[in-house]
């Protein structure tokens, strides 16, 4: 009888943990596109400090407020940095955080560049030294089907205007 109660109690705790934190999912971190600016930051040390501050703010918004979209900006002296991040709205908070962590690690490969972007299936992250939120990011991706007669063109656009994101 004690074993049955222990099993039931364990199942109740396990199921409440899933409800509270979401089931383990798929953060959808397959990269669709990435790029680095061909221009370098004028003050790399300050620019990296700004990047760290904006990424910290964005991650905090995801973790503490369950936001799936955010922008941040930081200025040290005359060095400005703007960042924007978005997860797909169906991702759990944990999957969104995982996608952000993957993106924020990958985007740092652009080292001294004054701008960069990474686009995954589940999220995107972008930073640059000027205010860019009204500019679209569009990528074209061709994928061949099983036969050479058919090709699919996928166009993904991320446009920020009045806090609305469009995915095509």
Domain coverage including residue 68: 26-132
Tokens 């703007």 -> residue: 82
9 assigned to some structural domain: no
Q: What's the CATH number where 117 sits?
A: 3.30.430.20
Structure confidence by residue, pLDDT tens digits, 16-61:
343 344 445 788 999 999 999 999 999 999 999 999 999 999 999 9
Structure confidence by residue, pLDDT tens digits, 85-141:
999 999 999 999 999 999 999 999 998 999 999 999 999 999 998 766 555 555 555
Query: Hey, what are 100's tokens?
Result: 């952000």
CB within 8 Å of 163: residues ≥ 6 apart: 69
Q: How many domains does the chain have?
A: 1
Query: Hey, what are 118's tokens?
Result: 């990474």
């Amino acid at each position: 009888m004690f074993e049955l109660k222990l099993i039931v109690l364990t199942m109740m705790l396990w199921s409440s943990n899933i409800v509270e934190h979401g089931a383990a999912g798929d953060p959808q971190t397959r990269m669709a596109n990435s790029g680095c600016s061909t221009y370098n930051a004028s003050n790399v040390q300050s620019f990296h400090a700004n990047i760290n501050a904006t990424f910290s703010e964005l991650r905090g918004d995801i973790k503490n407020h369950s936001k799936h979209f955010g922008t941040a900006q930081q200025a040290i002296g005359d060095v400005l940095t703007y960042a924007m991040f978005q997860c797909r709205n169906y991702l759990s908070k944990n999957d969104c955080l995982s996608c952000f962590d993957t993106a924020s690690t990958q985007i740092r490969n652009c080292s001294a560049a004054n701008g960069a972007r990474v686009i995954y299936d589940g999220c995107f992250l972008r930073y640059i030294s000027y205010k860019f939120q009204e500019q679209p990011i569009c990528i074209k991706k061709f994928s061949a089907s099983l036969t050479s007669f058919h090709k699919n063109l996928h166009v993904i656009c991320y446009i920020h205007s009045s806090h609305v994101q469009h995915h095509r």
